[in-house]
Amino acid sequence: MKQLLSIFIGIATVLFVNPVQAQAPKYSNEFLAIGVGARALSMANATVASVNDVTSGYWNPAGLLGINSKAQVGLMHAEYFASIAKYDYLAVAGRIDSMSSFGVSMVRFAVDDIPNTTQLIDAGGNIDYNRITTFTAADYAFLLSYARKSPIKGLNYGVNAKIIRRKVGDFAGAWGFGIDAGAQYDLKGFHLGAVVRDVTSTFNAWSFNLPQEMQDVFLATGNIIPTNSLELTLPRLIMGASKQVTLDKKQKFTLGGELDLINTFDGKRNVIVRTGVWSMEPVIGFEAGFKNIVFLRGGIGNIQKAKDVFGKKVTTFQPNLGIGIKIKSLTIDYALTDVGDQSVALYSNIFSLKLDINKKIQK
């Protein structure tokens, strides 16, 4: 336990002594905070302690040691805001041996066919719709994950090396690099988990290549012409605890739940606990299973204080529901998630697949 506490103290030290926090913008690389896998999304992303499959490469790399097949493949496709935004995820992971696992993940979030109206008016001052072109704004993340059992019984740890690619048509682009670190620990029937995303801060180096005619439009309309710059993504600490119990002697029915605390350090956010530097958001998820074949899930997250149309302060939250079916080596998960809060009700239907390949490995 002392060694485990030392790990968490070391993580917290990295967060608070990082010297570049003051120069970092808020909400950098937020596309990586959406989540992957319908199971996690239906549980409000409360999963860092219990995740034990291919999606661990995204949520907590230490969970990759829960895979007991030679390889596991996961994929997901989602569309948001009336199919304007496309969100795709693909990953492959597996056991190297009884002590370690490896995984590769890819995430893409993009909006296609965005109209470029900067050349809508020709040199004569006439509107010409034939001068409208389109472009794509896309964010990519590539993660290489490694997990290993520690000498401490019940403690696993893992790391991610990630490459970020962000592109806005031919006008702008950025390359970024970062590291995530995570751990999971089994303690008297409870599963504890922690992950630090962007543990050393993730650096995005932006470069711009605006054609001269576009720059002229920017100047004429009072817009600032962007210049090459460096964007930093500050660390985010997520801690969680989960518990699963059987409800009958034959162990057909199971019930589990997880509580996660999402800690950010980029200034005040509209969450339950907030200060000028640090904010903390709780999320909670539940999962009921039958014979490890059928699962019912639910979760609550995005709890915020807001004002209604009359100016009265109210508490809003994001509800999520989902189901899962496991048929031999194939798992199909579905999630009904609310993009905003329950007053907006922009619900999205999300499906994800998971496939185990080859024989099981002795844990």
- Domains (ranges, CATH) in the chain? 2-108+146-165+179-199+235-360 (2.40.160.60)
When pLDDT is averaged across residues 168-185 and rounded to a whole number, the result is 95
CA 76, CA 87: separation in Å to the nearest integer? 8
Q: What is the mean pLDDT of the chain?
A: 87
The whole-number pLDDT of residue 18 equals: 41
Query: Is residue 79 predicted with pLDDT exceeding 60?
Result: yes
The pLDDT confidence band at residue 250, using thresholds 50, 70 and 90, is confident
- Closest by CA to 261, choosing from 287, 285, 240, is 240
The whole-number pLDDT of residue 346 equals: 62
Q: pTM of the entire structure? A: 0.85
Query: Is residue 75 predicted with pLDDT exceeding 90?
Result: yes
The whole-number pLDDT of residue 362 equals: 53
When pLDDT is averaged across residues 28-34 and rounded to a whole number, the result is 89
CA 344, CA 154: separation in Å to the nearest integer? 43
Q: Give strand ranges (E) for the chain.
A: 69-80, 85-95, 100-116, 133-149, 155-168, 172-187, 190-197, 202-208, 229-233, 236-246, 253-264, 273-274, 279-290, 294-307, 313-327, 330-338, 347-360
High-pLDDT (> 90) share of the chain, % = 60
The whole-number pLDDT of residue 135 equals: 92
The pLDDT confidence band at residue 215, using thresholds 50, 70 and 90, is confident
When pLDDT is averaged across residues 13-41 and rounded to a whole number, the result is 69
When pLDDT is averaged across residues 84-98 and rounded to a whole number, the result is 93
The whole-number pLDDT of residue 74 equals: 97
Q: What is the pLDDT of residues 102-117, one digit of tens each?
A: 999 999 999 999 998 8
When pLDDT is averaged across residues 133-149 and rounded to a whole number, the result is 96
The pLDDT confidence band at residue 267, using thresholds 50, 70 and 90, is confident
When pLDDT is averaged across residues 312-327 and rounded to a whole number, the result is 90
The whole-number pLDDT of residue 4 equals: 41
Strand 155-168 vs strand 330-338: parallel, antiparallel, or unpaired? unpaired
Pick 91 or 275 by higher pLDDT: 91
